[in-house]
């Protein structure tokens, strides 16, 4: 019997060309007969394992990372189940391709490697009819939307419409890392132009080759989009991604109490970094309330992390003022202090009454931090002097070089370990290979928000949350840290092994959903077995029988 429920009436050629349903050479004889597929696929019926072997070999034959990216994206366009099987099995090998660092390169070249469209594009031309654009999307039960305007792609700056690689990649991680069903994911590019002249001059650029739209009209487009989403996809969570920092803070502030929304660069990064700090305390012995954290970079990531650290320190007993005094920032003009006149609003709460410092090294000497966190997008800013200074102040200096992609990292793993005789507790936004120093191998952790947002998204989805709150990121961070094993720590890794990411995301989802139910942020009643309810939501990439 045909399970038309799964197939939405699709058969034959249409079925073969629907990536969510296609099984390619794995359609069984019975399916080929019942679904008008006979003759449309080669005679030999493969298992998914055999197909997996074929696509993995093809993947490995690709000469460089960008070719591997193109191969994976093309596979996703043909057969989503097989794509997710492939990226889940050696996730450590696949994540740097579908996400940072390779996705950064793919965005830079997006117009040149473009094959088929993914997601939805919204421009000024669609103003007044954004609802109709959303209605063109073929899936009705959208639950997670990632939207960017491409203004601050990773640490690479304004990449305009080329930034579409980021929502596409992030949503792949929602599915791979947490099992959010692909049919419920929607990537959106809000193409309001670009101030990147070289892109505007590039004849293969895919976006609107005009200067970036600012001001009231930009806000009206965003507003129209949010309202249309709420009407058409009332259970959807909107994740704002890689907007420039002025818009990112503004939009978060405007919508966080009106819509189910969050900003991963601000809140997700904060979650993963707090988890990293909590785990590192098991190695340093420093209590959270005694941490003095110095940030290089006072943008979305830095201030987001600072705010979550403050909440965590307040939960541990400090006053807000005392907690803020434990967080210090250096931006492109030096230490963020009260008597500076050039500070934008989001930095003011961390501007302390203190003498100025021009350089990071001077700031380290004054602040005497226990942890140094790089979120500046500026490569090699954790110089030898800087890292050695951290090593002098601390037996186990915490050094996180979180800027992405790899080319923008504040220092490498090798440098951090090398300049501290292996004492550093190091994490980076993009992965670094293990480093062997004096016979000991150090496996650094990837302090990337992909440990946090997929689980948060799954929890929001499973509980049908109406809002996303900071408390959810706090419990996500604590859950993530609690899953770091002694073995991880012995290796120097302050995050769980990526191999366990689906378990980690499920645990985070349960913790987030508990907050949703406890705070009444859903119309659903709490299920008796919340973990079972979350588990039942998780997409598995194995093929289903259609007949």
What is the rounded end-to-end Cα distance, in angstroms, of the chain? 5
Closest distance between ligand NAD and the C-beta of residue 212, in Å? 15
Site for ligand NAD in 278-297 (CB under 6 A): 296-297
Stretch that binds ligand NAD, among 72-80, 84-92, 369-377, 455-463 (CB under 6 A): 369-377
Which positions are catalytic? 99, 170
- Exactly one of 48, 102, 404, 415 binds ligand NAD (CB under 6 A); that residue is 404
- How far does Cα 518 stand from its chain's mean position? 26
Based on CB atoms, which residue is closest to ligand NAD, 175 or 404? 404
Site for ligand NAD in 508-527 (CB under 6 A): none
CA distance 326 to 299: 18
Nearest Cα residue to 428 out of 442, 441, 439: 442
Residue 516 parent element (H or E): helix 501-518
CA distance 458 to 142: 13
Kindly report the three-state secondary structure assignment for every residue of 1-60. Answer: CCCHHHHCCCCHHHHHCCCCCCCHHHCCHHHHHHCCCCCCCCCCCCCHHHHHHHHHHHHH
Site for ligand NAD in 331-360 (CB under 6 A): 331-332
CA distance 16 to 191: 32
- Exactly one of 447, 454, 492, 496 binds ligand NAD (CB under 6 A); that residue is 447
Return phi, psi of residue 537, to 5°. Answer: -80, -20
Closest distance between ligand NAD and the C-beta of residue 373, in Å? 10
The yes or no reply on residue 376 touching ligand NAD (CB under 6 A) is yes
The yes or no reply on residue 449 touching ligand NAD (CB under 6 A) is yes
Based on CB atoms, which residue is closest to ligand NAD, 371 or 513? 371
The yes or no reply on residue 480 touching ligand NAD (CB under 6 A) is no
CA distance 252 to 269: 14
- Exactly one of 149, 241, 265, 281 binds ligand NAD (CB under 6 A); that residue is 265
Site string for ligand NAD, 417-436 (x = CB under 6 A): ------------x-------
Count the Cβ atoms, other than its own, within 10 Å of residue 60: 10
Based on CB atoms, which residue is closest to ligand NAD, 81 or 280? 280
Nearest Cα residue to 425 out of 373, 475, 473, 501: 373
Site string for ligand NAD, 296-335 (x = CB under 6 A): xxxxxxx---------------------------xxx---
The yes or no reply on residue 167 touching ligand NAD (CB under 6 A) is no
Site for ligand NAD in 232-251 (CB under 6 A): 245
- Exactly one of 118, 152, 212, 324 binds ligand NAD (CB under 6 A); that residue is 152
- Exactly one of 37, 323, 375, 465 binds ligand NAD (CB under 6 A); that residue is 375
The strands making up 445-446's β-sheet, listed across from edge to edge, are 334-335, 327-331, 293-296, 371-374, 398-401, 425-428, 445-446
Where do runs of H (alpha helix) occur along 261-331?
269-284, 300-315, 320-325
CA distance 247 to 159: 16
The yes or no reply on residue 267 touching ligand NAD (CB under 6 A) is no
The yes or no reply on residue 496 touching ligand NAD (CB under 6 A) is no
Site for ligand NAD in 174-193 (CB under 6 A): none
Distance of CA 49 to CAs 285, 487, 498, Å?
A: 46, 31, 22
Stretch that binds ligand NAD, among 15-23, 171-179, 229-237, 444-452 (CB under 6 A): 444-452
Closest distance between ligand NAD and the C-beta of residue 4, in Å? 42
Determine whether 523 is exposed, middle or buried from the number of CB atoms within 10 Å of its CB (0-12, 13-18, 19+): exposed
- Exactly one of 378, 393, 489, 538 binds ligand NAD (CB under 6 A); that residue is 378
**Count residues contacting ligand NAD (CB under 6 A)?**
30
Nearest Cα residue to 406 out of 114, 100, 140, 168: 100
Of all residues in the shown chain, the one whose CB is closest to ligand NAD is 299
The yes or no reply on residue 377 touching ligand NAD (CB under 6 A) is yes
Residues in contact with ligand NAD by the rule CB under 6 A:
152, 154-155, 245, 265, 269, 272, 296-302, 330-332, 375-378, 381, 402-404, 408, 429, 447-449
């Amino acid at each position: 019997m045909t399970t038309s429920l799964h197939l939405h009436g699709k058969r034959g050629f249409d079925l073969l060309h629907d990536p969510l349903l296609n099984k390619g050479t794995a359609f069984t004889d019975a399916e080929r007969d019942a679904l008008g597929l006979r003759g449309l696929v080669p005679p030999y019926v493969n298992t998914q394992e055999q197909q997996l072997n074929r696509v993995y070999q093809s993947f490995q034959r690709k000469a460089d990372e960008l070719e591997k990216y193109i191969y994976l994206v093309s596979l996703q366009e043909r057969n989503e189940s097989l794509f997710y099987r492939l990226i889940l099995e050696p996730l450590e090998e696949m994540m740097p391709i579908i996400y940072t660092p390779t996705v950064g390169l793919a965005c830079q070249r997006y117009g040149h490697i473009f094959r088929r469209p993914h997601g939805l594009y919204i421009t000024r031309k669609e103003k007044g009819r954004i609802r109709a654009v959303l209605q063109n999307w073929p899936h009705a039960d959208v639950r997670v939307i990632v939207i960017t305007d491409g203004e601050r792609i990773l640490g690479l700056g304004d990449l305009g419409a080329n930034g579409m690689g980021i929502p596409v990649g992030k949503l792949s991680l929602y599915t791979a890392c947490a099992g959010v069903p692909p049919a419920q994911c929607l990537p959106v590019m809000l193409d309001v132009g670009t101030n990147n002249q070289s892109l505007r001059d590039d004849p293969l650029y895919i976006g609107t080759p005009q200067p970036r739209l600012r001001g009231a009209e930009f806000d009206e487009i965003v507003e129209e989009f949010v309202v249309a989403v709420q009407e058409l996809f009332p259970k959807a969570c909107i994740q704002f991604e890689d907007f420039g920092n002025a818009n990112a803070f503004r939009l978060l502030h405007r919508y966080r109490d009106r819509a189910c929304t969050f900003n991963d660069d601000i809140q997700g990064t904060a979650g993963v970094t707090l988890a990293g700090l909590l785990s590192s305390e098991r190695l340093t012995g420093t209590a959270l309330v005694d941490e003095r954290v110095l940030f290089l970079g006072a943008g979305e990531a830095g201030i987001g992390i600072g705010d979550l650290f403050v909440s965590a320190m307040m939960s541990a007993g400090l006053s807000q003022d005392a907690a803020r005094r434990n967080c210090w920032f250096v931006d492109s003009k030096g230490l963020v202090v009260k008597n500076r006149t050039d500070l934008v609003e989001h930095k003011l709460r961390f501007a302390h009454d203190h003498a100025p410092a021009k350089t990071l090294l001077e700031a380290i000497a004054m602040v005497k931090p226990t942890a140094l966190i790089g979120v500046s997008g500026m490569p090699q800013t954790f110089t030898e002097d800087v890292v050695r200074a951290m090593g002098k102040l601390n037996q186990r200096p915490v050094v996180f070089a979180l800027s992405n992609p790899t080319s923008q990292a504040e220092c490498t793993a090798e440098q951090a370990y090398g300049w501290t005789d292996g004492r550093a507790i190091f994490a980076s936004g993009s992965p670094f290979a293990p480093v062997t120093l004096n016979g000991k191998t150090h496996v650094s952790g990837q302090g990337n928000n992909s440990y946090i947002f997929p689980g948060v998204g799954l929890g929001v989805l499973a509980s049908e949350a109406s809002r996303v709150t900071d408390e959810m990121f706090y419990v996500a961070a604590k859950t993530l840290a609690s899953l770091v094993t002694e073995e991880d720590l012995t290796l120097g890794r302050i995050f769980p092994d990526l191999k366990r990411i689906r378990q980690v995301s499920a645990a985070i989802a349960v913790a987030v959903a508990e907050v949703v139910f406890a705070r009444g942020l859903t119309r659903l009643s709490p299920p008796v077995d919340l973990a079972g309810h979350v588990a039942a939501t998780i997409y598995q990439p194995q093929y289903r029988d259609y007949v």
